[in-house]
Amino acid sequence: MKNIALTLTVLATVSLVSQAALPHYVQATDIAPEDVLVDEVVQAARGFFTGFQAGLYKTDSVDPNCLNKDAEMKIIEIFDAVFQGKLDLSFIMRLVTDLMSISSSLQSCGTKPFTDLANFCLFDPAQNCAPGKVLDNVQRNMLLLLSKLTDISTLVMEGIPKDAAMAFEMGQQAGKDVGGLLRMIINFSV
């Protein structure tokens, strides 16, 4: 049940990312919304997750099964079916196994960053997540923080690229910036 909830959360996140980025992307590039593929959004989300871990932990190692190609294709099939109204009985029957496959792929992504952050903030004797400490960290790292915020806003304004590999790179860079930003703000170390 936990895996299905995680899968649905990721699908909802991909949907929200696409809804948030799509207007900027379409406006900036004069491309019709129907030409923006789910593949690019999934790659951007996958890149963001791997980048987030790299920025948070200062590492580049993420399980290669995390949102692998099979899971990506199943997510694309689900979105295509929903957007094109192809929700017939055979698709719904196959949906259960597809969700399990996607869930398995998401399990390899892991929730370690989120549990580590929660444990760090809840059980940190130095109280690095307390408002006073966060404010001190922000003041101490103001130039770096502004640089990262500028990078993030530039990426968001550019929107999701029309190429899957470029979308992955864009998501990865945004994830690294957000992970690094969070690491600086709360002085995260594990």
List per-residue pLDDT tens for the chain, 190 residues long: 444 544 444 444 445 444 444 444 334 444 344 444 777 888 888 888 889 988 998 876 777 787 788 888 888 888 888 777 777 788 888 888 888 888 888 888 777 888 889 999 998 888 889 999 999 999 999 998 898 888 888 887 888 888 888 988 999 999 999 999 999 999 998 7
What is the C-alpha to C-alpha distance for residues 139 and 148, in angstroms, rounded to an integer?
14
pLDDT of residue 133: 92
What is the C-alpha to C-alpha distance for residues 162 and 63, in angstroms, rounded to an integer?
25
pLDDT of residue 74: 87
Closest by CA position to 43, among listed 160, 167, 162, 159: 167
Instruction: Specify the 3-state DSSP secondary structure of 134.
Output: helix
pLDDT of residue 6: 44
Answer left, alpha or beta for residue 127, where phi above 0 means left and psi between -120 and 50 means alpha.
Answer: left
Mind listing the pLDDT tens digit for each residue in 119-153? 999 988 888 899 999 999 999 999 988 988 888 88
pLDDT of residue 60: 65
Structural domains counted in the chain? 1
Helices marked H in the chain — which ranges? 2-29, 38-57, 69-84, 89-109, 112-122, 131-140, 142-158, 164-186
Mind listing the pLDDT tens digit for each residue in 171-185? 999 999 999 999 999
pLDDT of residue 82: 79
CB 33, CB 26: distance < 8 Å: yes
Give me the amino acid identity at 5: A
What is the C-alpha to C-alpha distance for residues 184 and 144, in angstroms, rounded to an integer?
9
Q: Which domain does 136 fall in, by range?
A: 2-186
